[in-house]
Structures are given as C-alpha cells and as structure tokens.
Amino acid sequence: MAVDDAPGNEIGLRFGPIGEAWLHVCVDMQRMFAEATPWTAAWMPRVLPNVVRLAERGPEHTLFTRFVPPPSADDAGGTWHRYYLRWPMMTLEQLEPGLLELVPELAAFAPPARVLDKRVYSPWFEGRLAGVLGELAVDTLIVSGTETEVCVLATVLGAIDHGYRVIVVTDAICSSADPTHDAMLGIYQSRFGMQVETIETMDLLGELKP
C-alpha cells in the first residue's frame, strides 16, 4: 500500500470546485450525545451552529444518520455484546426513547432532509446508504457530526472505499477527547490527503451551490 506523499496539513478544496451533486452527511447529532448521558460529546454545542449552517444551505441535500443501540446487550453479537455490558444504560430497554432523536436544532430540517438509522459505527454496513446515494446520483459527500475518530471516521472510510469525493468540515465535527480529535484531523489531512479534503464551514459555504 502506497503511503500518501501529499503535503500534510493542507486545507481547502484542493481538487477543484464542488458541483451540484453533493450531499451533506451529518453523523449522529443526537440528543443522547448532547445531553447528560455516559456518551455525552461535550464539544457538540460548540460545533452545532456550524452544522446548522450547513443544513440550512440545503436541507434537501442533507442526510442525518442516527446511532440506534440494540434492545439489550443480549441482542448484540460479538464484541458489541461486551460493549453493551459496559454501557447497559444506553440500550433501548433502559434509554429514554427521545434521546435517540436528533437535537432539536437539526430535527427541524427533516424532512426534506433524510434520516438513516444504523446500529454500528458505519452507515455503510447494511448497504442502504449506498442505495440512497446511487438514487441521488451523488458524487461528493460533505461530512459533519460526532465523533471525529469514531462514527465520523467510519463514515469517511466507507465513502473513500466507495470512491466518493470526501470533504470533512473541521469546525463542524466534534469529539469528547481533544488528543484523538486533533490526531484524527492530522490523519485526514495527511495520510488520506489524496482522498479527503478538509475545510472550515464559512469557507465551504462560500463554495457551495445551493
């Protein structure tokens, strides 16, 4: 496997302007990550205004993913069983149902924005996302959401594998851990430098066609 030799830490749209076939994929901006739960992403309030700006630019060009846990740890296979034994309070039999919903500021955009539920980190696992993108004839994915090095990473890697142009909006993604967030941004900008572009919200909005 070739190591990317593109200059590191470059930001901006290095591969030309964005056409009209783009989709904003907003990852797991849900109440259970915004409110007081064991999975709280403390940065979410900081990036939420930028995510709202992206959704406002084109609700019909937006797809929200939601992470949906299993009913109980016994309903989860493999290492997911161990995972939910660690956090049983986040399974559906214990979690308050409303916490699965998008945060109110984003729920207002759906519809026309689409919502896709998933039970693992990656929205590509069950194949439904690929089907939606094929129907929409999308060629570019703009990624926001939570968390930078978990579900956002899984979304980005799947998009790379499917050959989409991938644009990560650096001030519209969040984590609960500064060191791994910062490290992951560096990896997006260097190791994946030929397949991932990074840009800040206001710079991107200046380039987007509504």
> Which sequence spans correspond to the domains of the chain?
22-70+101-205
Chain segment 85-96, per-residue pLDDT in tens? 999 999 999 999
* Per-residue pLDDT reduced to its tens digit, 119-156: 999 999 988 999 999 999 999 999 999 988 899 999 99
pLDDT of residue 57: 94
Q: Assign a CATH topology to domain 22-70+101-205.
A: Rossmann fold (3.40.50)
- Where does the pLDDT of residue 42 fall: very low under 50, low under 70, confident under 90, or very high at 90 and above? confident
Buried b (16+ CB within 10 A) or exposed e, 56-75: ebbbebbbbbbbebbeebee
DSSP letter string, 85-107 = HH-GGGSTTTS-GGGGSBPHHHH
Look at phi and psi of residue 93 and say left if phi exceeds 0, alpha if psi is from -120 to 50, else beta.
Answer: alpha
pLDDT at 115: 97
The Cα–Cα gap between 34 and 146 comes to: 10
pLDDT band at 178 (very low <50, low <70, confident <90, very high): confident
